């Protein structure tokens, strides 16, 4: 057994790429070993800004010898075929064996591959790894770049150490020859550093002021920054992302504390934190009370002769300039009200076909007011409209121009400074939320109204111009918007019809010139197909597409919560259900039910009934009298079921009683038949009542009672009786059973 060290020395590798580069190096190396039949006992990778390193321990000295057998053509095959085989096997004719295969002399090649020295394997593997390295962006450089075929690397590759058991593995890539030397710290160490092997690599580099283990550098930064803060009486605001980034920017990290003028603290803390973190990669600190304190921690890459005084002074100056800029923006922005700022939105294009941001704001304001007026959101309509009118104004402020990620937040600050109603300021601040999975979902009513209106408007507008997400492309984040709408509805228990909400958002979109042109084209092409069964207007078409999109997103979102998509379909297919809160409650109840034995059996009974009806092509024209399905209509989905449309439970019960079957039968029913009729008589009104009261568990329980009678019916009763009256009555009964089940969900959509 032996061990192996690989170091790839490079000009500075971007910090953000180093983590994946380590993983890629390990994988590529392991793959190369595996292809040669080798495996190391352990692999370890390290990175610094200037190097990627890999240590493999417990490597065999050679690969296993293998013997491979190839079957060739028959011995009497034409020469061309035999020659081809010889080329493939790499042998000469006399080295072939002839064996009997099913009575025919057939040529065989036996190729014995002796074990290969691991050093030879590595000599091939190293250049292959370097050439195949999957950097997110790579480049050419130097003399070799005369051709675009030259080696590509993330930044110029400067050296290779390849030591197997202390000996250099002879290999080269694009003129770069592997050896046993590297360099130390860029400023603390002059000249080459010679490495003798795996064991002294890290310690030799440490002597040359390079800590090669990224985790060690990270802990030096983590602990050192916390220590520097506490030495000054502050508490470090922990930021693991910054720890990793600074570890990727240094070979010899030295955290240093600097200060800034407390007068800058009048600028919102988020602004200070952002400019400090993003632009300068500094940590921020808090005082004992938890407020942002006028100090920061930067991470130098040298142990300076003066203990870092000059470095701190320089960094303080840079940060002061940044904060001056931020304060300048903060003050300048406040010289105008948000309303005045929002004037500029008239000049900003929201989308080339959808007009300006000012146009969008106008639609959102009306929609937000409507949501409150309709009582869907319990907020003050006037405040919702006001907040919506101002919610995008900060996009044209200097601060958001400089830090786009502060959109919303700055508007909230400026609104508060202006003395606007706190609900308005909060709505402006939070109306982009929820932005992604796990983001807070607003609950303040005015905020909910603006957030909902903003997203519904975007969805309606982009759907109106057919800018739908496709595959991995969703440039306008419409999927995220749809999920955000669902989350707003669920978190706030908003009771409303998705159809009507979408219709309210689509209507104003129709007034956009580009959309009305599309609508005219749509109507014109629709008139060419006059006489088709379903004629939808353009806006109806948009709304229907959008509702479908919502339901699809709901399925994806709910899948993560363990909700079955087919059950959502089963409830949605009823047609009348587009109150998302109620829909999801029904789906939850349905899922609990179908996953019980009873539910499963009822489903099986349903499928059997539905199959028979389908096979018999059972329309309801031939339904027997008495059953609720006999309205002459086609009660295939339950949507048209007269009972399900009845809102008043008393009426529902009366209708059910009127429909008392049994007496209407022109023959004596069999016991199982009668039992099913009686069970339906009981179950139907109970289920209807429960649904009316949104007690979906109760509705399922009422239907569960049908399981034994339907099973017995199938066991004991012949549906296809020779007597046409019996046959019709029994098919009618099955149809009635199907309709009863459809009252909770379209079971035909349920899988399994």
The H or E element that residue 356 is part of is: strand 355-356
- Please select the residue that binds other proteins; options are 27, 57, 116, 186, rule is CB under 8 A: 186
Q: Under 8 Å CB-to-CB from 312, ≥6 apart: which residues?
A: 256, 257, 258, 298
Stretch that binds other proteins, among 139-147, 613-621, 644-652, 678-686 (CB under 8 A): 139-147
Under the criterion CB under 8 A, does residue 349 sit at the interface with other proteins? yes
* Min dist. Cβ of residue 353 to other proteins (A): 12
Under the criterion CB under 8 A, does residue 402 sit at the interface with other proteins? no
Under the criterion CB under 8 A, does residue 301 sit at the interface with other proteins? yes
Instruction: State both tokens at 559.
Output: 């899948």
- Please select the residue that binds other proteins; options are 57, 116, 140, 499, rule is CB under 8 A: 140
Under the criterion CB under 8 A, does residue 270 sit at the interface with other proteins? no
- Please select the residue that binds other proteins; options are 348, 435, 645, 651, rule is CB under 8 A: 348
First to last CA, the chain: 55
Distance CA 161, CA 629 (A): 83
* Min dist. Cβ of residue 315 to other proteins (A): 4
Distance CA 586, CA 561 (A): 15
Q: Name the phi and psi angles at 56, rounded to 5.
A: -110, 125
Under the criterion CB under 8 A, does residue 142 sit at the interface with other proteins? yes
Under the criterion CB under 8 A, does residue 314 sit at the interface with other proteins? yes
Q: Is-cis flag, bond preceding 368, omega within 30?
A: no
- Which is nearer to other proteins, 317 or 559 (by Cβ)? 317
Q: How far does Cα 27 stand from its chain's mean position?
A: 25
Under the criterion CB under 8 A, does residue 319 sit at the interface with other proteins? yes
Under the criterion CB under 8 A, does residue 310 sit at the interface with other proteins? yes
Under the criterion CB under 8 A, does residue 148 sit at the interface with other proteins? yes
Under the criterion CB under 8 A, does residue 313 sit at the interface with other proteins? yes
Under the criterion CB under 8 A, does residue 137 sit at the interface with other proteins? yes
Distance CA 257, CA 224 (A): 10
Distance CA 480, CA 451 (A): 13
Q: Residues 300, 258: contact at Cβ < 8 Å?
A: no
Distance CA 211, CA 206 (A): 5
Distance CA 38, CA 449 (A): 63
- Which is nearer to other proteins, 317 or 614 (by Cβ)? 317
Under the criterion CB under 8 A, does residue 476 sit at the interface with other proteins? no
Stretch that binds other proteins, among 259-267, 308-316, 663-671, 683-691 (CB under 8 A): 308-316
> What single DSSP character describes residue 405?
G
Under the criterion CB under 8 A, does residue 188 sit at the interface with other proteins? yes
Q: Under 8 Å CB-to-CB from 334, ≥6 apart: which residues?
A: 414, 417
Q: How buried is residue 415: exposed, middle or buried, by Cβ count under 10 Å (0-12/13-18/19+)?
A: buried
Q: Under 8 Å CB-to-CB from 244, ≥6 apart: which residues?
A: 15, 19, 218
Under the criterion CB under 8 A, does residue 157 sit at the interface with other proteins? no
- Which is nearer to other proteins, 69 or 352 (by Cβ)? 352
Under the criterion CB under 8 A, does residue 139 sit at the interface with other proteins? yes
- Please select the residue that binds other proteins; options are 304, 358, 444, 585, rule is CB under 8 A: 304
Under the criterion CB under 8 A, does residue 156 sit at the interface with other proteins? yes
Q: Residues 271, 322: contact at Cβ < 8 Å?
A: no
* Min dist. Cβ of residue 161 to other proteins (A): 18
* Min dist. Cβ of residue 221 to other proteins (A): 14
Neighbours of 56 (CB within 10 A): 26
Distance CA 23, CA 57 (A): 17
Stretch that binds other proteins, among 53-61, 153-161, 210-218, 478-486 (CB under 8 A): 153-161
Under the criterion CB under 8 A, does residue 358 sit at the interface with other proteins? no
Q: Residues 165, 56: contact at Cβ < 8 Å?
A: no
Pairing of strands 355-356, 349-351: antiparallel
- Which is nearer to other proteins, 325 or 566 (by Cβ)? 325
- Please select the residue that binds other proteins; options are 75, 318, 510, 701, rule is CB under 8 A: 318
Under the criterion CB under 8 A, does residue 278 sit at the interface with other proteins? no
Distance CA 262, CA 293 (A): 8
> What single DSSP character describes residue 441?
P
Q: Is 373 helix (H, G, I), strand (E, B) or coil?
A: helix
- Please select the residue that binds other proteins; options are 15, 338, 504, 515, rule is CB under 8 A: 15
- Which is nearer to other proteins, 146 or 525 (by Cβ)? 146
Under the criterion CB under 8 A, does residue 20 sit at the interface with other proteins? no
- Please select the residue that binds other proteins; options are 67, 92, 112, 146, rule is CB under 8 A: 146
Distance CA 473, CA 470 (A): 5
Query: Total binding residues for other proteins by CB under 8 A?
Result: 50
- Which is nearer to other proteins, 49 or 224 (by Cβ)? 49
- Please select the residue that binds other proteins; options are 244, 311, 570, 590, rule is CB under 8 A: 311
- Which is nearer to other proteins, 186 or 682 (by Cβ)? 186
**Binding residues for other proteins (CB under 8 A):** 11-12, 14-16, 49, 137-148, 154-156, 158, 186-188, 249, 280, 282, 298, 300-302, 304-306, 310-311, 313-315, 317-319, 321, 325, 328, 347-349, 352
């Amino acid at each position: 057994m032996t061990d192996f060290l690989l170091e790839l020395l490079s000009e500075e590798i971007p910090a953000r790429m180093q983590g994946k580069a380590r993983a890629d190096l390990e994988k590529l190396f392991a793959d190369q070993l595996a292809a040669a039949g080798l495996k190391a006992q352990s692999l370890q990778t390290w990175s610094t800004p200037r190097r990627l390193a890999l240590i493999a321990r417990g490597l065999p000295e050679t690969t296993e010898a293998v013997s491979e057998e190839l079957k060739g053509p028959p011995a009497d095959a034409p020469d061309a075929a035999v020659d081809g085989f010889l080329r493939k096997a790499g042998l000469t004719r006399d080295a072939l064996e002839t064996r009997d295969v099913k009575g025919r002399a057939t040529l065989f090649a036996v190729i014995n591959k002796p074990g290969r020295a691991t050093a030879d394997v590595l000599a091939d593997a190293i250049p292959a790894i370097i050439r195949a390295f999957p950097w997110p962006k790579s480049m050419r450089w130097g003399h070799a770049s005369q051709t675009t075929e030259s080696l590509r690397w993330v930044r110029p590759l400067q050296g290779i150490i390849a030591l197997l058991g202390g000996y250099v593995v002879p290999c080269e890539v694009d003129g770069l020859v592997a050896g046993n030397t590297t360099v130390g710290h860029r400023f603390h160490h002059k000249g080459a550093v010679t490495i003798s092997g795996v064991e002294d690599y890290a310690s030799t580099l440490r002597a040359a002021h390079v800590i090669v283990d990224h985790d060690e550098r990270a802990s030096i930064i983590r602990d050192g920054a916390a220590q520097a803060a506490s030495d000054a009486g502050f508490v470090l605001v922990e930021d693991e992302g910054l720890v990793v980034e600074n570890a990727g920017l240094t070979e010899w990290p030295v955290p240093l504390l600097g200060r800034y003028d407390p007068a800058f603290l009048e600028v919102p803390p988020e602004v200070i934190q952002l400019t400090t973190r993003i632009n300068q990669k500094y940590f921020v600190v808090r005082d004992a009370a938890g407020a942002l304190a006028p100090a920061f921690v930067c991470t130098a890459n040298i142990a300076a002769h003066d203990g870092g005084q000059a470095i701190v002074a320089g960094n303080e100056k840079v940060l002061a300039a940044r904060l001056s800029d931020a304060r300048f923006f903060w003050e300048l922005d406040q010289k105008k009200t948000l309303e005045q700022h929002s004037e500029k939105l008239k000049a900003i294009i929201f989308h080339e076909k959808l007009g300006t941001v000012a146009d969008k704001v106008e639609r959102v304001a009306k929609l937000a007011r409507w949501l409150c007026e309709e009582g869907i959101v319990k907020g003050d309509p006037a405040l919702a409209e006001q907040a919506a009118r101002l919610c995008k104004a900060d996009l044209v402020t200097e601060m958001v121009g400089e830090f786009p990620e502060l959109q919303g937040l700055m508007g909230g600050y400026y609104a508060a400074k202006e003395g606007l109603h706190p609900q308005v300021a909060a709505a402006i601040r939070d109306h982009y939320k929820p932005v992604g999975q796990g983001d807070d979902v607003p609950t303040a009513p005015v905020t909910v109204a603006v957030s909902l209106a903003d997203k519904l408007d975007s969805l309606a507008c982009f759907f109106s111009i057919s800018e739908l997400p496709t595959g991995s492309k969703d440039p306008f984040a419409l999927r995220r918007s749809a999920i955000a709408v669902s989350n707003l509805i669920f978190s706030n228990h908003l009771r409303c019809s998705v159809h009507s909400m979408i219709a309210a958002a689509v209507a104003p979109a129709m007034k956009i010139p580009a959309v009305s042109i599309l609508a005219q084209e749509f109507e014109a092409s629709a008139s060419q197909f006059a006489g088709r069964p379903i004629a939808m207007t353009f806006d109806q078409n948009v709304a229907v597409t959008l509702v479908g999109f919502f339901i699809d997103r709901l399925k994806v979102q709910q899948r993560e919560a363990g909700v079955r998509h087919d059950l959502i379909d089963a409830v949605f297919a009823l047609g009348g259900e587009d109150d998302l809160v109620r829909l999801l409650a029904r789906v939850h109840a349905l899922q609990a039910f179908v996953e019980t034995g009873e539910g499963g059996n009822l489903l099986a009974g349903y499928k059997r009934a539905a199959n028979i009806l389908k096979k018999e092509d059972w329309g309801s024209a031939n339904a027997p009298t008495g059953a609720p399905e006999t309205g002459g209509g086609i009660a295939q989905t339950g949507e048209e079921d007269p009972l399900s449309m009845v809102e008043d439970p008393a009426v529902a019960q009366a209708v059910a009683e009127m429909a008392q079957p049994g007496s209407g039968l022109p023959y004596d029913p069999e016991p199982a038949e009668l039992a099913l009729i009686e069970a339906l008589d009981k179950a139907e009104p109970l289920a209807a009542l429960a649904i009316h009261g949104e007690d979906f568990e109760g509705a399922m329980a009422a239907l569960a009672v049908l399981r034994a009678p339907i099973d017995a019916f199938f066991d004991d009763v012949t549906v296809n009786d020779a007597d046409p009256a019996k046959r019709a009555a029994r098919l009618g009964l099955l149809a009635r059973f199907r309709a009863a089940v459809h009252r909770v969900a379209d079971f035909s959509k349920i899988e399994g």
